[in-house]
Amino acid sequence: MTNGGRFITFEGGEGAGKSTQVARLAETLRRRGLEVVTTREPGGAPGAEQIRRLLVEGEVGRWDAMSEALLNFAARRDHLVNTVWPALAAGRWVLSDRFADSTLAYQGYGHGLPIARIEALYAMTVGEFTPDLTLILDLPVEEGLKRAAGRGGAEDRYERMGHDFHQRLRRGFLDIARRHPERCAVIPALGSPDNVQAAVLAAVEGRLMPMKSPRQEE
């Protein structure tokens, strides 16, 4: 399906800096002659963006864990069919701010939905497809929530969930990385954006391919 394209996902808790690093990596890869698509979850396709608003806005308790998981996988299917898979088939690199590990972390580790149910939903809607590389941006919960609070906006439903929830999220992402070391790389995200960018690029180069083009990001 990939035809030379690669699928890289960025994961982590609130305020980890994923969108910043997606944009920076995309710029670097484009300078090296690659065609790159940047996207996000929930969202990334017209129908999925409509579902996104149901998940990230409104009251904290508006959905139970299974309802959230179902909404996420409905959006994910639309995202894959209309954005990710066509781009990969055309040989493009796709960088996504969140993918299925977020459902596992948020609805599974965070809200207590049994992991087997999430895995069953994944098998039904995604199949055997997985990212080529998952970069988990990790930082202390307190710092992440502090950064997230500075963003403002209506998409703060998860930020308003309790501190214990966010601690479970962080442990969940680290456990996912431990269980899937061949796919996941943990990137310390407490440092400056430049330092995080350097670690992200090192992981991409080391895991996916030694890039042959001269480095042009400086």
Architecture of the domain spanning 7-207? 3-Layer(aba) Sandwich (3.40)
Question: Residue 2: its pLDDT value, please?
Answer: 47
Alpha-carbon distances of 36 from 21, 41, 96, 105, 203, rounded to whole Å? 14, 17, 11, 27, 17
For the chain, the farthest-separated pair of C-alpha atoms sits apart, in whole angstroms, at 50
Question: Residue 30: its pLDDT value, please?
Answer: 96
Give the residue extent of every domain in the chain.
Answer: 7-207
CA proximity to 97, closest of 186, 20, 6, 193: 20
Q: d(Cα 64, Cα 106) in Å, to the nearest integer?
A: 12
Task: Tell me the pLDDT of the chain (218 aa) as tens digits.
Answer: 446 899 999 999 888 889 999 999 999 999 999 999 999 999 999 999 999 999 988 888 899 999 999 999 999 999 999 999 999 999 999 999 999 999 999 999 999 999 999 999 999 999 999 999 999 999 998 888 888 776 766 677 877 888 898 999 999 999 999 999 999 999 999 989 999 999 999 999 999 975 444 444 44
62-93 pLDDT, tens digit each: 999 999 999 999 999 999 999 999 999 999 99
154-166 pLDDT, tens digit each: 677 877 888 898 9
Q: Residue length, the chain?
A: 218
pTM: 0.90
CA proximity to 84, closest of 8, 191, 161, 192: 8
Question: Residue 150: its pLDDT value, please?
Answer: 67
**Secondary element (H or E) of residue 175:** helix 163-179
Mapped onto helix, strand or coil, the DSSP state of residue 7 is strand
Whether the Cβ atoms of residue 42 and residue 52 lie closer than 8 Å to each other: yes
Phi-psi region of 8 (alpha: psi -120 to 50; beta: other; left: phi over 0): beta
Amino acid at 141: V
